[in-house]
């Protein structure tokens, strides 16, 4: 089993005729994902990916004609918020926005609009998600993962890849890997994914990778204490960052004592999370916890 995407997901790519959209749509299709269409206003009726995928003028058309239920967005920052809203208005259940640099004020509007719909947003400024051997929706390299029973949640794209590598090195595969993005306003929080993995009968353990700044990891830790029975292995990036230093993500700015790496690690441990000091310890720690289960 998996969460959010699988071999039956019907994927469209907004911005499929652009350089990035075309390349990554091709990668998703080559991996085995069910890419059924693309959207570029004004280019409806054309074919993309060497004639393999039809292009539509709008998400509404794609929804109606190819029954799309997942949209992958490669649209420039000034237009990305509008693209998210268009997908949600069309009834697309899962929207994955890779675009970075979307203005915060635009995301405030998006966040408010999504609350009026049944759509879920992953991102923006994220690597997307991957269900090994079934579907990849985003820019994660599919070859590094293998099918298994460990769910991965991460704010960091590169640390998602490292966690997957460490798991595979211990012979452990993944059910689904989700990069949630590091912007101040994102669509799906750690708590949301923790609940999905907890409910997934074929996920046995969860890896959760956070970073300094913000309270998401603290909220997730308290949620784990009260609601999650499966073992959760956690890591916090930015442990050596001086107070106030801006990190790679806009959300990674320490503004209070409880947002430091040390404070987050302490709270997570107190809530039952198995906290590691280095990404290199993720795989072996997951293996040890599964052995105890």
DSSP labels for 217-276? HHHHHHHHHHH--S-EEEEEE-TTPPTT---SSTT----SGGGSHHHHHHHHHHTT-EE-
Query: pTM of the predicted model, to two decimals?
Result: 0.93
Same domain, 159 and 286: yes
Catalytic: 24? no
- pLDDT for 17 beyond 60: yes
The answer to whether residue 203 sits within a structural domain is yes
Instruction: Indicate which residue of 24, 223, 249, 274 is catalytic.
Output: 249
| Domain ranges, residue 62 | 11-122
pLDDT in tens, 68-98: 999 999 999 999 999 999 999 999 999 999 9
Same domain, 154 and 98: no
The answer to whether residue 130 sits within a structural domain is no
Band of residue 240 on the pLDDT scale cut at 50, 70, 90: low
User: Mean pLDDT over all residues of the chain?
Assistant: 93
| Residues 53/54/58/60 CA torsion (nearest 10 deg) | -90
How many domains would you assign to the chain?
2
Cα–Cα dist 17/55, whole Å: 8
The answer to whether residue 280 sits within a structural domain is yes
The answer to whether residue 128 sits within a structural domain is no
Tell which wins on pLDDT, 37 or 253: 37
Same domain, 161 and 272: yes
Tell which wins on pLDDT, 190 or 237: 190
Same domain, 93 and 166: no
The answer to whether residue 270 sits within a structural domain is yes
Same domain, 175 and 278: yes
Same domain, 151 and 227: yes
The answer to whether residue 52 sits within a structural domain is yes
Same domain, 105 and 221: no
Same domain, 161 and 239: yes
Band of residue 254 on the pLDDT scale cut at 50, 70, 90: very low
């Amino acid at each position: 089993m998996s969460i959010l995407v699988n071999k039956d997901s019907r994927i469209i790519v907004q911005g499929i005729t652009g350089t990035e959209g075309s390349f990554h749509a091709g990668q998703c299709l080559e991996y085995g994902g069910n890419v059924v269409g693309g959207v570029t206003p004004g280019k409806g009726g054309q074919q993309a990916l060497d004639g393999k995928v039809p292009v539509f003028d709008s998400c509404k058309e794609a929804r109606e004609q190819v029954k799309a239920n997942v949209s992958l967005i490669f649209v420039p920052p000034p237009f990305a918020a509008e693209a998210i809203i268009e997908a949600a208005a069309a009834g697309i259940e899962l929207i994955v926005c890779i675009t970075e640099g979307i203005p915060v004020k635009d995301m405030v509007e998006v966040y408010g609009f999504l609350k009026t719909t049944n759509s879920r947003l992953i991102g923006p400024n994220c690597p997307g998600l991957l269900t090994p051997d079934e579907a990849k929706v985003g820019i994660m390299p599919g070859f590094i993962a293998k099918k298994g029973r460990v769910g991965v949640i991460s704010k960091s794209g590169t640390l998602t890849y490292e966690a997957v590598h460490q798991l595979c090195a211990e012979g452990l595969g993944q059910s689904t890997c989700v990069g949630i993005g590091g912007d101040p306003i994102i669509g799906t929080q750690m708590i949301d994914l923790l609940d999905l993995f907890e409910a997934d009968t074929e996920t046995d353990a969860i890896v959760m990778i956070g970073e300094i700044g913000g309270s998401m990891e603290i909220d997730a830790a308290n949620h784990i204490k009260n609601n999650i029975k499966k073992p959760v292995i956690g890591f916090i990036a930015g442990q050596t960052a001086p107070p106030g230093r801006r990190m790679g993500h806009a959300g990674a700015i320490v503004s209070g004592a409880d947002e430091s790496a040390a404070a987050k690690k302490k709270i997570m441990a107190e809530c039952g999370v198995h906290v590691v000091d280095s990404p290199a310890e993720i795989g072996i720690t997951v293996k040890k916890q599964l052995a105890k289960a």
